[in-house]
């Protein structure tokens, strides 16, 4: 954990502020760019710390957005967690409140329906990019590749709870296969 200067904290806040408006489908869809910024570009945390931040937050009870606070914490403690959470929450919350009220009165118009339909593939693409980034540590191991294929097929073809795949992933990792 680094002690960032005020300009660096403001840059962290500003980056997450912009990401907030790109978080179509939730903050997790912006994880690839978060990774690019805090790991590759700034070098504030390692790839393993970034992946662990997301894994820890996703395993904990509560909202999925907690991973943003954990990433911020790993970058700069309380100041980093505060900067990332305020940055990711402020714009999207204000925009969501405005758009929800606006959409309610126009939900049957062609433009609103087309926009809603067009966002689905964008969200899927962002989720796939997130999965690709998070799979980096195990992408070249047969256990990780096999588990990924089995998970995709199970989620696509069955009504199996995703928790079974999370459990399978835990077992595969525990046994050292991924």
Average pLDDT over every residue of 137-152: 81
Look at 48-57, 68-77, 168-177 and tell me which has the smallest mean pLDDT.
Answer: 168-177
Can you give the pTM of this predicted structure?
0.64
Percent of the chain at pLDDT above 70?
Answer: 99
Burial grade of 53 (CB within 10 A; 0-12, 13-18, 19 or more): buried
The tens digit of pLDDT for each residue in 39-51 reads: 999 999 999 999 9
Residue 137 CA to residue 83 CA, distance in Å, equals 27
DSSP state letter for 116: H
Q: With beta carbons less than 8 A apart as the criterion, state whether 9 and 83 touch.
A: yes
When pLDDT is cut at 50, 70 and 90, the band that residue 133 belongs to is: confident
Structure tokens at 92: 């999207």
């Amino acid at each position: 954990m680094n002690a960032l200067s005020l300009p660096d904290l403001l840059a962290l806040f500003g980056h997450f502020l912009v990401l907030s408006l790109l978080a179509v489908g939730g903050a997790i869809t912006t994880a690839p760019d978060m990774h690019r910024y805090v790991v590759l570009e700034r070098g504030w945390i390692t790839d393993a710390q970034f992946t662990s931040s997301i894994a820890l937050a996703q395993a904990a009870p509560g909202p999925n957005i907690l991973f943003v606070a954990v990433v911020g914490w790993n970058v700069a403690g309380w100041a980093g967690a505060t900067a990332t959470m305020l940055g990711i929450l402020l714009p999207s919350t204000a925009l969501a409140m405005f758009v929800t009220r606006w959409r309610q009165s126009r939900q049957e118009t062609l433009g609103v329906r087309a926009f809603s339909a067009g966002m689905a593939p964008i969200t899927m693409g962002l989720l796939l990019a997130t999965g690709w980034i998070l799979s980096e540590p195990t992408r070249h191991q047969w256990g990780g590749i096999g588990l990924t294929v089995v998970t995709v097929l199970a989620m696509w073809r069955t009504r199996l709870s995703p928790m079974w795949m999370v459990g399978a992933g835990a077992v595969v990792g525990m046994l050292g296969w991924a």
